[in-house]
Structure 1
Amino acid sequence: MNRLPVLVSPYGPYASLALHVHDLTIRGHHTETLQAADEAEAITLMLGDHRTHRVSRLGRMYALTSLGRLDEALQIAEELVEDQARLGGPKATDAKILADTAEVLIHLGRIDDGLHYVARAMAVLDVAPRKGPRYFSAMASLAEAARGAELFELADEAMRRCIESFEFPDDLYRSAADLTHTELWAEWALRLEQVGRIEDAAALFDKTTAVLQYWIEQGIDSPLSTAILALCHAKSGRPAEALALIDEQLPKMREAGQFHEARLFHLAYGLVLRSTGEWRAARREFRAALELAVLRSQRLLFQYELAITAAQEFPGDATQAVLESLRSHVEALWQLRLDRRTMLRQAYRRVELEAERTTADLAAASDALTGLGNRRMFDRRINTVTTGGSLLLIDVDHFKDINDRYSHGVGDRVLGEIASVLRSHCRHDEVAIRFGGDEFALFLSTGEDEARQVAERIRRVIEARDWSTIVPGLTVTLSMGLAACHTGEPGRDLYDRADARLYVAKRAGRNQLAAA
């Protein structure tokens, strides 16, 4: 499996390590990819660069998938989904990881699960920014997942949107994107040919040939593009052009261990040999391609060509019966492909309904003025705090005086400003709450020492803000009470301890933090 170049530089300070991993798998050197990933992951973990570590893991997953080690690839995919949910990040990155997981599930034969992940990725991409390298990469992954499920129309549309979304820094990236697109077209054409849609297949082969020849004329070439072009020539009745490419590249690909390209060259060579009646040699090439196939969908392509060759070499009832049986199997799979389109629509609708329910739940648990969580959310979260987490309670000092002196409108603006500060200090799994009035709470995922630092930063930000921009003479300060959760402590006890510390801060003169 060959991938688009993945622009990983936004992901971490040591991104060059992960870039090397991805570069190797793009070139088809999958065993070397695993060795490079071992080194990159050890170094990035030691340096604390978790984002680059995840990117390297993604490259490892691609290599494992290409090598057919799908169970190992799925384990990494599920880890990445869990990490992304816990650590957060751009929506396009969420979608990419979901789509990559979908592809592995589909290749494992877990079609329902895979299509559910495809639907989730599509829903995220519907609301993600539609420009830039992250969206480009996510759409490429969605195309690969759709292609794995033989949802060629969706894969084609995803690749089109992928290419339109990105301003390519040079021809290398654009040619790589087009190359991935042409590989999709070639596979689609082979499947169309199997179900008797000969004219549609021929049109796709011609379109693929035109794009590949354009890039070759621009001086940008690759073994994969040459392999696909050789296949197109063989399918389009140009055996001499196909042989020229095969003779030059096939031995190199076998020697270099680039089996993805090699199996396409073997397929093309078998087609050329069959067209001249060299049945035995053609069967040898198709078997060689079959031996190098990793995924079931790849093996079917070569098995079909073997069956046609046998029927032509040994015409008779037996070989014809085998061919007809295989054609029935192919047509059943094609019908199943159409059923998957319906399954995907249903999965997408389920994802939409889940999102609508989540939105409704959030609205019911949100404070209308500030957008923070409300008392309902507080009650839901208080008993989920575990050892290692902390609760910070906050009151605005003399808030009644602010309302009486400046108006309730000014008071509402103050609460909104405080809410923004609290929200900006929340990490992915942390929650800010407004009880009502001038009372706030912050659920922190850290222990007391780090929580104390967060609280002091918030207090200083509020104290230092120029509140006179709202109304001249206005000042705002906060009193805070902090408690770290004890092992096995009930939520109510944690709240009581934080509340007691809050009153300590108030009695001590306000504008300060009291911690247990």
Structure 2
Amino acid sequence: MPDTRLPVPVEPYGVFVALAREVHDRTMNGHHDEALVLADRAEAIAAILGDERAQLMIRQGRMYALLALGRLSEALVIGQTLAEDRQLVGPRASQAKALADLAELLIKLGRIDEGLHWLARATTALDLAPHDSLRYFSAICSVGDAAQAAELYELADDCARLAADALAVDELFRAAGRLQHAEMLLEWALRLEQVGRATEARLRLDRSVALMREHLKAHPDAPLATAMLALGLARTGRPDDAIVLIRRMLLPLRAAGQTHEVRLLHLAYGSALRALGDRAGAHREFTAAQELAGQTGQRLIIGYELADLAGERAPSEATRTMKATLREQVGHLWRQRLDRRLMLQQARRRAELELDRERAEGVAASDALTGLGNRRTFDRRLGELHGGTSLILIDVDKFKGINDAYSHGVGDGVLRGVAEVLRAHCREGEVAVRFGGDEFALFLLADLPAARRIAERIRRVVVRRDWDELVPGLRVTLSMGLAAYSEGMTGSELFDRADTQLYAAKRQGRNRLAA
């Protein structure tokens, strides 16, 4: 089995991340069916190559494609799995992203309370994440999507601004951020128009149009960007320009089954025809858009347009009553936004309390000197064993002699140095522990041959480390015992096997691995 820890280009999403990015690229540009086909192939290849991180990113891309196609229940299955995996392991930003994606799916499925709970957890996790990474950018975009789904437009706008200022972001991800921001601004503007705040609506429409013009310079064939630009032009007094784009894109996108973009184009066409005085044509297009609307917010926006248009086409007491009723409903739903903001604040406070408890538990499970896990962590991990786990027990050779010859301060420096090396060799889901004195343990997600190579590398790194910074001429070596978990083995049995090997290494002269 090849050693996956040999030097490779630094990538947070896996060595074969290009496979996953192809899937995401299709989805970001509106080619959702293509993304699903490509995801099947890419995930199979990533599985053969053993790149678990790339597989996770491919599954994310599949989830986003299903979400865009309105296949929410299928997307939710993936979202729940990813969120569960990321809560167990992974950086804070990755956890925040998975939780925000799950929140968006639940909100769109009408499970608002659950969705706001996970959105609060996502924002809490994101506060603790480094802000200068690609992971942070991706997570903040997902938080913005979930906020938009809940009609928390102010939070979504804040997220878009933070994403635009994020560092370490390439054009692919920046383009996704532009699309997300522009669509949110469009939806926000349409809702503002419905509640009579036309000036605020126009400001957001103009911002959306500007973002889409910028996006289409770099991605001229992006169907979602084109559809959104057409809608923005139609709503800001440029119906003829909008119709040119609509007629070029509508039939091809209908043939491709890209429902989301087609709905936006019909809404744009209806808006443009209405502005040009063709009320019958506008009614036809709004009706077509309504038939494609899958979410309550979408149906509300288009339903309002149809009611308003009916009042113009055939003014009567009945149409005035219908419009008044719809306006009252719109006002009620707009006020519900304030309730959701309060609900999110309350959920956020609960999430912060949970985080405080987790921190307290983390402190209780951490070694104060090295920052590694302590005996409590060791015992817990030993009770959670599964296939593919190996355990390495490690002793610092003649550590008492180091303390006696130099001082306990130097000894502490040695322990911290060894801990740094162990931590550097841990991937997601792997744990390094100091469980007493100069005794360390490393739980690896690797089979016996791979774990042997990793242990040997750790031993060599420690031997070659420049310990002169502590004391000139200081030499530090390790004795190591390795055992691999097999089905049916208890934690005690795995420990005993590794411990037996550790003592074998010491008997054979120390500074070696026995496995």
After TM superposition, give the deviation of residue 287 of structure 1 in Å: 0.8
Contact 1:67 1:294 in 2 (8 A): no
Q: Give the letter aligned to residue 372 of structure 2.
A: L
Matched, 1:126 2:157: no
Q: Give the letter aligned to residue 414 of structure 1.
A: V
After TM superposition, give the deviation of residue 251 of structure 1 in Å: 4.3
After TM superposition, give the deviation of residue 350 of structure 1 in Å: 2.2
Equivalent residue number for residue 435 of structure 1: 435
Q: Distance in 1 between matches of 2:433 and 2:175?
A: 50
Q: Distance in 2 between matches of 1:123 and 1:10?
A: 21
Q: How is 1:204-353 mapped onto 2 (pairs within 5 angstroms)?
A: 204-212=204-212, 223-255=223-255, 257-275=257-275, 278-353=278-353
Equivalent residue number for residue 5 of structure 1: none
Distance change >3 Å, CA 500–CA 265, structure 1 → 2: closer
Q: Distance in 2 between matches of 1:173 and 1:511?
A: 47
Contact 2:505 2:512 in 1 (8 A): yes
Q: Distance in 1 between matches of 2:168 and 2:461?
A: 39
Contact 1:186 1:204 in 2 (8 A): yes
Matched, 1:396 2:380: no
Equivalent residue number for residue 465 of structure 1: 465
Give SS of 2:432's match. strand
1:75 corresponds to which of 74, 77, 94: 77
Equivalent residue number for residue 140 of structure 2: 139
Contact 2:138 2:173 in 1 (8 A): no
2:21 corresponds to which of 14, 19, 44: 19
Contact 1:386 1:488 in 2 (8 A): no
Which string of whole-angstrom CA distances, capped at 9 and with x for unpartnered residues, describes residues 184-231 of structure 1? 211101111222223322332344345556777999685544443443
Query: Normalization by structure 1: what TM-score?
Result: 0.86
Which string of whole-angstrom CA distances, capped at 9 and with x for unpartnered residues, describes residues 236-289 of structure 1? 445445445445544454455444333223223323444566443322111111
Contact 2:69 2:258 in 1 (8 A): no
Q: Distance in 2 between matches of 1:190 and 1:38?
A: 37
Q: Give the letter aligned to residue 197 of structure 1.
A: R
Give SS of 1:432's match. strand
Equivalent residue number for residue 4 of structure 2: none
Q: Give the letter aligned to residue 205 of structure 1.
A: L
Equivalent residue number for residue 196 of structure 2: 196
Q: How is 1:393-432 mapped onto 2 (pairs within 5 angstroms)?
A: 393-432=393-432
Give SS of 1:146's match. helix
Give SS of 2:429's match. coil
Which string of whole-angstrom CA distances, capped at 9 and with x for unpartnered residues, describes residues 36-72 of structure 1? 2222222222232333333222222111111111111
After TM superposition, give the deviation of residue 417 of structure 1 in Å: 1.6
Contact 1:29 1:257 in 2 (8 A): no
1:51 corresponds to which of 46, 50, 53: 53
Greater shift, 79-88 or 358-367, is seen at 79-88
Q: Give the letter aligned to residue 42 of structure 2.
A: A
Contact 2:231 2:268 in 1 (8 A): yes
Distance change >3 Å, CA 445–CA 34, structure 1 → 2: closer
Give SS of 1:384's match. coil
Equivalent residue number for residue 5 of structure 2: none
Contact 2:69 2:260 in 1 (8 A): no
After TM superposition, give the deviation of residue 395 of structure 1 in Å: 2.6
Q: Distance in 1 between matches of 2:11 and 2:470?
A: 41
After TM superposition, give the deviation of residue 156 of structure 1 in Å: 0.8
After TM superposition, give the deviation of residue 389 of structure 1 in Å: 3.5
Larger radius of gyration: 1
Distance change >3 Å, CA 486–CA 281, structure 1 → 2: closer
After TM superposition, give the deviation of residue 159 of structure 1 in Å: 0.7
Q: Distance in 2 between matches of 1:353 and 1:443?
A: 30
Q: Give the letter aligned to residue 165 of structure 1.
A: A
